[in-house]
Amino acid sequence: MRAGSKGQLYQALKSRLYPDHPGWPTALGPRTARDGRSVRLRPPRLADAEQWSALVRRERMALEPWWPTSVLPWEDRFTTRTWYERWARLRWSARRGYSLPAVIEVDGRLAGEVVIDRIDRTQRSGEAGMWIAAEHHGSGVASHALQLIMSHAFGPLDLHRLVAPIAVNNRAAAVLAASHRFKREGVMRDYMHVGGRWRDHVLWSVLTNEFISSLTAASAEAAPRPT
């Protein structure tokens, strides 16, 4: 086989195994939260295992009602080994263009996760999900993280539509979505088994033009006005 043919075969195999992902890996931010802390997003690392395990275990009261149900005790579900397996799955999915996973860092420390999952390149759609440590609730960290991932999704990723399934009684998540131009579409009955039982979820969505309109409005509001 000629060298040129080998090169073409390699490129064809590579593109099949690892299709072009225009938005990963990348770091986004930083931005400054209301309390002055620095917020940024970056790809997950294998070395995040201990921080991730300790944080998720500590956040049980806030996370368990919305986390997928399991027969395993909470402590056993979030070990460093769990992270190694999770990291491998996230990396596999991201390298193939199926998802955009990121960890949320606040002043350099892991504070949560955000992901664009179920990316459909043909329909230019994806599903957003996020969790953040309770100590940062109300500080603007979640808002900045969502804004960063949305800017990336509607920019380099070139998506047209983002959806977010939110449990009907998860008011904080619903308020966050609404404040970022997500619109309520309808209720999906018994959509996911979370927190030990089936829960209805509301489907929220936002389109490219709605996101751009929100940026335009924000820029106009921030612009200096003549006196």
Residue predicted with more confidence, 145 or 217: 145
Residues 147 and 145: their CA atoms lie apart, in Å, by 5
- Reported as a pLDDT band with limits 50, 70 and 90, residue 226 is low
Each as own residue / partner, the long-range contacts of residues 173-177 (CB below 8 Å, 24 or more positions apart, any chain) are: 173/66, 174/202, 174/204, 176/142, 176/143, 176/146, 177/204
Specify the pLDDT at position 23.
76
- Reported as a pLDDT band with limits 50, 70 and 90, residue 7 is low
Crossing angle between the packed helical segments 208-222 and 141-154, to the nearest 10 degrees:
120
Whether the pLDDT of residue 3 is over 70: the answer is: no
DSSP state letters, 161-197 = EEEEEEETT-HHHHHHHHHTT-EEEEEEEEEEEETTE
Specify the pLDDT at position 214.
77
**Structural domains for the chain:** 21-160 (3.40.630.30)
Share the mean pLDDT of the chain.
Answer: 90
User: In the predicted model, what is the mean pLDDT of residues 215-227?
Assistant: 54
Whether the pLDDT of residue 99 is over 80: the answer is: yes
Whether the pLDDT of residue 11 is over 70: the answer is: no
Whether the pLDDT of residue 151 is over 50: the answer is: yes
In the chain, the percentage of residues whose pLDDT exceeds 70 is 85
Q: What is the tens place of the pLDDT at every residue in 21-50? A: 667 888 999 999 988 999 999 999 999 999
